[in-house]
Amino acid sequence: MTALTREDVTSMILSAKRQAGLTWEGIAEAIGMSPVWTHSAAMGMNAMPEDKAKAITETLGLPQEAALVLQESPTKIWSQTVPTDPCIYRLYEIVGVYGPTIKALIHEKFGDGIMSAIDFDMSVTRVENPKGDRVKIEMSGKYLGYNAW
Amino acid sequence: MTALTREDVTSMILSAKRQAGLTWEGIAEAIGMSPVWTHSAAMGMNAMPEDKAKAITETLGLPQEAALVLQESPTKIWSQTVPTDPCIYRLYEIVGVYGPTIKALIHEKFGDGIMSAIDFDMSVTRVENPKGDRVKIEMSGKYLGYNAW
Amino acid sequence: MTALTREDVTSMILSAKRQAGLTWEGIAEAIGMSPVWTHSAAMGMNAMPEDKAKAITETLGLPQEAALVLQESPTKIWSQTVPTDPCIYRLYEIVGVYGPTIKALIHEKFGDGIMSAIDFDMSVTRVENPKGDRVKIEMSGKYLGYNAW
Amino acid sequence: MTALTREDVTSMILSAKRQAGLTWEGIAEAIGMSPVWTHSAAMGMNAMPEDKAKAITETLGLPQEAALVLQESPTKIWSQTVPTDPCIYRLYEIVGVYGPTIKALIHEKFGDGIMSAIDFDMSVTRVENPKGDRVKIEMSGKYLGYNAW
Amino acid sequence: MTALTREDVTSMILSAKRQAGLTWEGIAEAIGMSPVWTHSAAMGMNAMPEDKAKAITETLGLPQEAALVLQESPTKIWSQTVPTDPCIYRLYEIVGVYGPTIKALIHEKFGDGIMSAIDFDMSVTRVENPKGDRVKIEMSGKYLGYNAW
Amino acid sequence: MTALTREDVTSMILSAKRQAGLTWEGIAEAIGMSPVWTHSAAMGMNAMPEDKAKAITETLGLPQEAALVLQESPTKIWSQTVPTDPCIYRLYEIVGVYGPTIKALIHEKFGDGIMSAIDFDMSVTRVENPKGDRVKIEMSGKYLGYNAW
Amino acid sequence: MTALTREDVTSMILSAKRQAGLTWEGIAEAIGMSPVWTHSAAMGMNAMPEDKAKAITETLGLPQEAALVLQESPTKIWSQTVPTDPCIYRLYEIVGVYGPTIKALIHEKFGDGIMSAIDFDMSVTRVENPKGDRVKIEMSGKYLGYNAW
Amino acid sequence: MTALTREDVTSMILSAKRQAGLTWEGIAEAIGMSPVWTHSAAMGMNAMPEDKAKAITETLGLPQEAALVLQESPTKIWSQTVPTDPCIYRLYEIVGVYGPTIKALIHEKFGDGIMSAIDFDMSVTRVENPKGDRVKIEMSGKYLGYNAW
Amino acid sequence: MTALTREDVTSMILSAKRQAGLTWEGIAEAIGMSPVWTHSAAMGMNAMPEDKAKAITETLGLPQEAALVLQESPTKIWSQTVPTDPCIYRLYEIVGVYGPTIKALIHEKFGDGIMSAIDFDMSVTRVENPKGDRVKIEMSGKYLGYNAW
Amino acid sequence: MTALTREDVTSMILSAKRQAGLTWEGIAEAIGMSPVWTHSAAMGMNAMPEDKAKAITETLGLPQEAALVLQESPTKIWSQTVPTDPCIYRLYEIVGVYGPTIKALIHEKFGDGIMSAIDFDMSVTRVENPKGDRVKIEMSGKYLGYNAW
């Protein structure tokens, strides 16, 4: 008998979501977390605390072992250095075009350091606009200043 | 006699800014634009409309030819497929970790499409926080739905 | 019981098309769409609206679940950065040779911006010619001007 | 004394064009060729026949040696396997998304073969549209069928 | 029931060839084609006309469906950008060392253009030589001149 | 005082050839060697024996030091793993498509081994043809069998 | 008049160090910082606080402008994805071999998170050993736990 | 009957560890080795001496054949040239930023040579700190001086 | 019924060797060849002459079909451009560090040419040394001089 | 006044060697070292001890500062991951083909470890042979066994 893998649990979640006709927003609300974090944890890009892991497996009717897997520290892997999907590529392009600008402004506002991608959160919202609705992405990460020793 | 290049103008701007002790925020205010856009246009990642090109050359005391160069459509080039600077790499990492999540939520909120990186704007702000101040990045891009024909 | 994947549905379409002796032009006509869009949606490079997804599954005698899969937003992936197939490589070569030219002419005719690859359509036709028939490819995409803010 | 290089001549053309306030369409008309071909030959992506090389050097007031250089067979080089400029990247993306579709339709309409990128021509035009003007790109290349021997 | 793939048919051909103790030269003679073309079509690098596809399946005792697969337009894929097998690498090396020379001589003898790799044929022969026999490779491709328009 | 480099000598040869209106065929004839070898040695892809190095410098009126440089063993470098120039790319494509075929036929005619790219010669000729003249490339390399010990 | 660049200042430091016969340890002691940090800041991999920038320019007799450059936030760039220098490659190899182990032990001791490379310090020391002296590298970075929101 | 592979044994170890609720520290203590070495040997990045291989298979209840596999010299492979997992990437970044510094200090303290990654050991510990606990990594490798002959 | 592949035969050899407790040296002696050649042929990096193929299959008790497979000309493939295993990487490093030196000395001792990797043999031996035993690798390849024609 | 760089010293050595008509073997003999080590140190791939650095600068008549540069620890860089020069490529090919074999035999003769590329020496000699002279390369490196702790 083989143990459940992360990939198995991700498949189970996607399959249960489809059958139950749920949305990520709905699942996120059911477990009391944000949609961004909920989706990324379901995809194996974040580990779940015990109570959230149990909540999602109960919400979706998954086996108990799945809750254990969801609490493990995942190895985050993406295989395309440059993503090809147009929706994801546009984000990569923004980093290429505006990355040096963000760095310069962080330096101006904070000093020599970075925005953490670990102590970090994000939201995606829809903003109505008469010229065409807009996608709004808000990221917030702790400023970390370089150490001198 | 050789014509001014984009690289020449970027150097002039950086040099004048240093000598005058200005900030990007200050230059942006002087020309009536946002700091993100102002920096990226100065770096050759965006073209300036005529009035803004004139305003920045006047503000910084650059030659008139510089204003012409700043209005040209730049060829946007970044040479590192994966950026090495830690501040910029963290942004790349966010795309790798959360890119599929952003795609899934755009699909859920809008349908099959993307956030434009062209009809797009962004801001970087400092948010005070007792556990350590945070960098806030807000992006807004027009939703573009895929065509079916 | 495992759910149908995009790859399963693509295989079903190719298999049914072969058995029924159909052409892409024929299938496209049957569902009232263009051959380019129909083929790309069948390959998992575009999502189908509900009515078209139902039309193609009925035309080809596929199971109902296939229609659901065809409506999902696909993650567009191509694994060869430089395509090796000679027919596709020639298109890549055209981008390499004429890409800067197309950019310069868009700039001259419209201003600083791009041709959208999302709000986009294309056709492929055969043009008779005494020196040898020619392939004609017509692309049309919405002009998107860069934002200044 | 060193000979003129292709890069020298390209610089001369760009510089003279700027000073004379000309457009690519204007230069093309002056030498009786299309704007796409004229720009690509000026950039060193096509060789000019003798009369056209002389016409462009006269139009722009370049030295006679430049006309010789423009007639040489250029070595076509692009240094970015995946172009970063957004305007050119969208064309690359179209090849990735629709390349297999174009191949399938060429096969259906002609047989096993390709569209030539050598016996080839192209145009870029602006099409007015109430929802936003569109860029139209038309390519035409001779069909070449694979040999069997 | 799954359809035969190209890979299945290639395996069948290799297996039947081994069991029957045939050579590529022998198979080529049996179907009235050259050994180079016959091998490459068997490997999925060329499509067969109907009569040749039938001839090879009869010669090797393959099922009728195989003849249909052999007539399809294959997507030509090689996965190693730089081949590692020494016999194939030497050919790659020849392109690296002598490619610019071949280009210069084509230009000198024909004008600005290329040797087609589509309207193309090749042979491999053994030439006796007292200092050690030699491999002779002869390639012939139609000259294609660049278009000006 | 700096010594002449290979790049210097290549430039001198190209410049003298242009000024004298010579062809590669003409230069090759003047030094009693083939055009392919002559061009590749001039480009720094082969070393010249003393008499040929002297002959070419006399033919083109180059300084004596150039003859020394032409006799040195060059380090053969090509910077594009996949060549972009269409004329050279077609040769790369032929290796990708027909490489395994050439290997199989060498194996069938000689045994386990390769065609040498060192004990090697090549010619490029123009073959008249009513359907369009053809480029003929003939390569000949010594067969080298793998050692077993 | 052109401004000093980071590269200029690094060259000045290396040159002054050689002429004065100093060691990194000596320079570090003179400015009251560690040798690791001092060398990396001199190489442009860390920004110096004002007092340290002044101290090093005084110690080495550099111009005042150099102290300004040393305080700027550097863009950290390394051009070899896989370093070739054997001394640096061994460190890369250690990351390849022991990276997953370090991750597993951080997870076991702290939870789901990382060791910061920003709030970070390091030392290199020589440890005497009868079987051959050893290099000891000690790294210390703040633990950062992933956020859930 | 197929033999056990390294991957099989790694899976067995991970599965037994999970079922027994053990930690790497606990397993390491049980076999009398360090946690770093124990984890890396379990992952196939180090070979075990016979007694340790037997000890771990007994501790975890694995079949005897597993002990044989653990003693074999593994081929150490990592597939990502640049690791994407943030925890491992930070280590890669440290090599990029501080690699040249470590090299310079080894040179200053020892002479021209390297720190061995073979005669090497490492530990990972948790250091309490009121500003947030820290990860401490200590590496020790034999100094190897370059040979001159 | 499927035919044996090279991979199957390599697995059979490794499995039989393990069960019989043989060494490569022992197997090599049994078939009257060197250990280097024997191992590489067993791994699919060299073809075996008929008698040696039969000898090894008899020595290890493999099926007769295996002897046929071992006589086929293998396609030599290695998937890591830069090998990660430390033992193999060190060899790669030697090529990087000493490759240009070997080239210079071959040129000095022989003229413009190379050491063949086809008409080639090699041995690996252990040399006792009081400061630590040494690995000795001896390579011998036929000198091949470049052709001029 | 700028300091001498490694590249300057390498150029001086090559230039003086050419003018004096020396060989590497002759220079090596003059300084009492081997030709392999002498050439690699001259190319910047090894550091020279003080006496050898002085000996070579005296032998070739270089300035005293050159002797200082030759004693510095060089950063060893090669820019081609896969070397293109045929003479060097053959060595790379040998690592690809025989690397796993060398690893297996080291393991069989010594245990789990590697051949050092640091405590290492090498020679290149010409071996007469009636079938064609052969290049003999002998490498010797200290065996380093993996540590267990």
* Interface mutation target, options D45, D76, D120, chain F, most CBs of F under 10 Å: D76
Q: Does C51 score more than 90 pLDDT?
A: yes
CA B32-B37-B39 angle, 5° bins: 100
* Percent residues over pLDDT 90 in chain C: 90
Residues C95, C64 share a domain: no
The answer to whether the Cα torsion of E50, E53, E58, E61 is positive or negative is negative
Q: Does C143 score more than 90 pLDDT?
A: yes
- Over residues H15-66, the pLDDT tens digits come to 899 889 899 999 999 999 999 999 999 999 999 999 999 999 999 999 998 9
Judge contact between G76 and H98, C-beta under 8 A.
no
Residues H141, H99 share a domain: yes
The verdict on residue F76 lying in a domain is no
Tokens of A58: 């109960």
Residues I60, I25 share a domain: yes
Burial class (CB in 10 A: 0-12, 13-18, 19+), F120: buried
Which of C71, C98, C126 is at the close of a domain? Answer: C71
Q: Where are the alpha helices (H) located in chain D, listed in sequence order?
A: 6-20, 24-31, 35-42, 50-60, 64-71, 86-109
Residue listed under structure tokens 């102002």 = B38
CA J109-J111-J115 angle, 5° bins: 75
Q: Cα(A26)–Cα(A55) distance, rounded to whole angstroms?
A: 13
The verdict on residue D65 lying in a domain is yes
Judge contact between A19 and G135, C-beta under 8 A.
no
Phi/psi at H55 (5° precision)? -60, -40
Residues J67, J111 share a domain: no
What number is the average pLDDT over the span G72-85?
A: 95
Residues of chain H contacting residue J34, judged by C-beta atoms under 8 Å apart? 149
Closest CA in chain E for residue I74: E85
- Over residues D60-113, the pLDDT tens digits come to 999 998 999 999 999 999 999 999 999 999 999 999 999 999 999 999 999 999
Burial class (CB in 10 A: 0-12, 13-18, 19+), G41: buried
Q: Is B126 tagged catalytic?
A: no
Q: Does J44 score more than 80 pLDDT?
A: yes
Residues B64, B10 share a domain: yes
Tokens of D80: 């970015």
Residue listed under structure tokens 């060392």 = E97
What number is the average pLDDT over the span F16-23?
A: 90
* Interface mutation target, options B12, B39, B85, B97, chain G, most CBs of G under 10 Å: B85
Per-residue pLDDT band for I121 (boundaries 50, 70, 90) equals very high
Which of the following is catalytic: B90, B123, B134, B140?
A: B90
Q: What is the pLDDT of residue D19?
A: 86
B122-to-A129, B52, D146 alpha-carbon distances in Å = 16, 18, 51
Q: What is the pLDDT of residue B133?
A: 97
Judge contact between E145 and C131, C-beta under 8 A.
no
Judge contact between B69 and D18, C-beta under 8 A.
no
Judge contact between F114 and F25, C-beta under 8 A.
no
Q: Do chains E and B touch (3 or more CB pairs under 8 A)?
A: no
Closest CA in chain H for residue G23: H108
Q: Does C30 score more than 60 pLDDT?
A: yes
Nearest CA distance, B16 vs chain D (angstrom): 26
Query: E strands within chain G?
Result: 113-127, 134-145
CA E70-E73-E76 angle, 5° bins: 100
Q: What is the pLDDT of residue I2?
A: 62
* Percent residues over pLDDT 70 in chain F: 99
Q: Does J3 score more than 80 pLDDT?
A: no
Q: Are strands C134-145 and C113-127 parallel, antiparallel or unpaired?
A: antiparallel
Phi/psi at A36 (5° precision)? -60, -50
Residues of chain I contacting residue G93, judged by C-beta atoms under 8 Å apart? 84, 86, 89
Which of the following is catalytic: A11, A25, A90, A123?
A: A90
Identity of the residue in H75, H113, H121 whose CB atom sits nearest the CB atom of J147:
H121
The verdict on residue I80 lying in a domain is no
Judge contact between F100 and E88, C-beta under 8 A.
yes
- Among the listed residues C46, C50, C111, the one whose alpha carbon sits nearest the alpha carbon of residue C76: C46
Judge contact between G128 and G98, C-beta under 8 A.
no
Q: What is the pLDDT of residue C99?
A: 97
Let me know how long chain B is: 149
Residues J117, J63 share a domain: no
CB atoms within 10 A of CB C133: 14
Residues B67, B93 share a domain: no
Identity of the residue in C15, C82, C84 whose CB atom sits nearest the CB atom of E3:
C15
Identity of the residue in I46, I75, I111 whose CB atom sits nearest the CB atom of F146:
I46
Q: J95, I91: Cβ pair inside 8 Å?
A: yes
Q: Does D1 score more than 80 pLDDT?
A: no
The CATH code of the domain that includes C55 is 1.10.260.40
What number is the average pLDDT over the span H72-99?
A: 96
Q: What is the pLDDT of residue I86?
A: 97
Residues of chain E contacting residue J86, judged by C-beta atoms under 8 Å apart? 93, 97
Q: Is H116 tagged catalytic?
A: yes
Residues B64, B24 share a domain: yes
Per-residue pLDDT band for J32 (boundaries 50, 70, 90) equals very high
Q: Are strands J134-145 and J113-127 parallel, antiparallel or unpaired?
A: antiparallel
What is the secondary structure of B66-79 as a DSSP string?
A: HHHHHHS-------
Q: Where are the alpha helices (H) located in E21-49, listed in sequence order?
A: 24-31, 35-42
The verdict on residue G42 lying in a domain is yes
- Over residues C58-80, the pLDDT tens digits come to 999 999 989 999 999 999 999 99
**For chain B, what is the mean pLDDT?**
95
Closest CA in chain C for residue D139: C137
Burial class (CB in 10 A: 0-12, 13-18, 19+), E25: middle
Q: Is E90 tagged catalytic?
A: yes
The verdict on residue E79 lying in a domain is no
Burial class (CB in 10 A: 0-12, 13-18, 19+), H90: buried
- Over residues D2-35, the pLDDT tens digits come to 678 899 999 999 989 988 989 999 999 999 999 9
The verdict on residue I122 lying in a domain is yes
Which of H71, H102, H125 is at the close of a domain? Answer: H71
Q: What is the ipTM of this complex?
A: 0.95
Q: H131, G142: Cβ pair inside 8 Å?
A: yes
Q: Cα(E14)–Cα(E3) distance, rounded to whole angstroms?
A: 19
Q: Does F36 score more than 80 pLDDT?
A: yes
Q: Cα(J48)–Cα(J50) distance, rounded to whole angstroms?
A: 6
Q: Cα(B11)–Cα(B3) distance, rounded to whole angstroms?
A: 15
* Percent residues over pLDDT 90 in chain A: 90
Q: Cα(D89)–Cα(C100) distance, rounded to whole angstroms?
A: 11
Q: Cα(H60)–Cα(H54) distance, rounded to whole angstroms?
A: 10
Give the domain extent around H96: 86-145
Closest CA in chain D for residue A86: D93
Q: What is the pLDDT of residue B93?
A: 97
**Helix or strand (DSSP H, E) at C138:** strand C134-145
Phi/psi at H79 (5° precision)? -95, -15
Single-letter code of the amino acid located at C149: W
Residues J64, J104 share a domain: no
Residues in CB range of E128: below 8 A, 6 or more apart:
none
Residues of chain B contacting residue H84, judged by C-beta atoms under 8 Å apart? 93, 96
SS3 of residue H2 by DSSP: coil
- Over residues F80-126, the pLDDT tens digits come to 999 999 999 999 999 999 999 999 999 999 999 999 999 999 999 99
Residues B66, B10 share a domain: yes
Q: Starting from the edge strand earliest in sequence, which strands make up the sheet with C113-127, in order?
A: C113-127, C134-145, D134-145, D113-127
Identity of the residue in E82, E86, E97 whose CB atom sits nearest the CB atom of J82:
E82
What number is the average pLDDT over the span E12-23?
A: 91
Q: Cα(F124)–Cα(E143) distance, rounded to whole angstroms?
A: 12
The verdict on residue A56 lying in a domain is yes
* Percent residues over pLDDT 90 in chain I: 90
Judge contact between E136 and E125, C-beta under 8 A.
yes
List residues in chain H touching I: CB distance below 8 A. 2-3, 68, 75-78, 81, 117-118
* Percent residues over pLDDT 70 in chain D: 99
Q: What is the pLDDT of residue I5?
A: 87
Which of J71, J102, J125 is at the close of a domain? Answer: J71
- How close are the terminal C-alpha atoms of chain C, in Å? 52
Residue listed under structure tokens 């032998």 = J59
- Over residues B47-78, the pLDDT tens digits come to 999 999 999 999 999 999 899 999 999 999 99
DSSP bridge partners of A136? A125, B140
Q: Does J1 score more than 80 pLDDT?
A: no
**For chain J, what is the mean pLDDT?**
94
Q: Does B1 score more than 50 pLDDT?
A: no
Residues of chain C contacting residue B75, judged by C-beta atoms under 8 Å apart? 100, 103
SS3 of residue C68 by DSSP: helix
Residues of chain F contacting residue J86, judged by C-beta atoms under 8 Å apart? 76, 117-118
Q: Cα(F67)–Cα(B124) distance, rounded to whole angstroms?
A: 63
Q: Where are the alpha helices (H) located in C72-136, listed in sequence order?
A: 86-110
**For chain H, what is the mean pLDDT?**
94
Judge contact between H143 and G121, C-beta under 8 A.
no
The CATH code of the domain that includes A121 is 3.30.1160.10
Q: What is the pLDDT of residue I3?
A: 73
Q: J117, G15: Cβ pair inside 8 Å?
A: no
**For chain F, what is the mean pLDDT?**
94
Q: What is the pLDDT of residue A99?
A: 97
The verdict on residue A80 lying in a domain is no
Q: What is the CA radius of gyration of chain J?
A: 18
Per-residue pLDDT band for A1 (boundaries 50, 70, 90) equals very low
Q: Cα(G7)–Cα(G12) distance, rounded to whole angstroms?
A: 9
Let me know how long chain H is: 149
Furthest-apart CA pair in chain A: how many Å?
57
Q: C25, D138: Cβ pair inside 8 Å?
A: no
Per-residue pLDDT band for B137 (boundaries 50, 70, 90) equals very high
CB atoms within 10 A of CB A2: 7
- How close are the terminal C-alpha atoms of chain D, in Å? 52
Residues C63, C93 share a domain: no
**What does the buried/exposed string (b/e) look like for I76-90 if buried means 16 or more CB atoms within 10 Å of the residue's CB?**
bebebbbbbbbbbbb
Residues G12, G58 share a domain: yes
For chain F, the domain total comes to 2
Judge contact between F139 and E90, C-beta under 8 A.
no
CA B49-B55-B60 angle, 5° bins: 130
- Over residues I25-84, the pLDDT tens digits come to 999 999 999 999 999 999 999 999 999 999 999 999 999 989 999 999 999 999 999 999
